[in-house]
Structure 1
Amino acid sequence: MHQPVTDNPFVIMIINMVIVFAVLIVIWGLIELTHQLDPTKKKADPPAAEPARPAAAPASAPKASASTGMSAETVAVIAAAVSACGYSAEQIHAIRPAEQPAWRTYARTSGMRTAR
């Protein structure tokens, strides 16, 4: 009859943890191998010798209109954030608040239902 090698739960735990981590390391190795053999990966461009050009001046940001009520600082911050995402200041056509009529309607109806 077959007898267990050990009844010690700590030895069994160590054996199981070694097996789990060995499998994880093998999977990690396969993922790394797949990343190196990937034919669809873009080739790295050689580093450019030219230093990066400075960011666009805030003066090139779109001007705030009187109808939006935004200050020039707010417009400059929004333009800088959009430029940081990779767009140029010339690609910004308009800065206006997003209309959310459903939210406004919900706020009005919930305000009417609330007892004060």
Structure 2
Amino acid sequence: MYNSAYAYLLLAIISEVIATSALKASDGFTRIVPVIVVVTGYVAAFYLLSLVLRSIPVGITYAIWSGVGIIFITLVAYFAFRQSLDIPALAGMGLILAGVLVINFFSKTVTA
């Protein structure tokens, strides 16, 4: 059950990252194709997130969702939109990743 929940969570994160990337490309909701991607991506992300919450506690789900999402969207911003990353940004993302790993490997809440 947990394996499918984590697969849904990964798909939800990917959907949200695609939607957020399209939001930037929508140019203030003035370009229709990116707007369609935004709406579809967010609907898919929240539907998948609702499936995840059947198995994984909301606090843990949100910690993973936000932490991994931040890292993924920052990578997309770097490669697709040429956003630069400095040492503090990279260090912060490392700390976020470390926090997600600590939650998953050491917290008893994950299996509650």
Please state which structure has a larger fraction of its residues in helix: 2
TM-score, normalized by the shorter chain, greater than 0.5: no
Alignment TM-score, normalising by the size of structure 2: 0.24
Alignment TM-score, normalising by the size of structure 1: 0.23
The higher radius of gyration belongs to 1
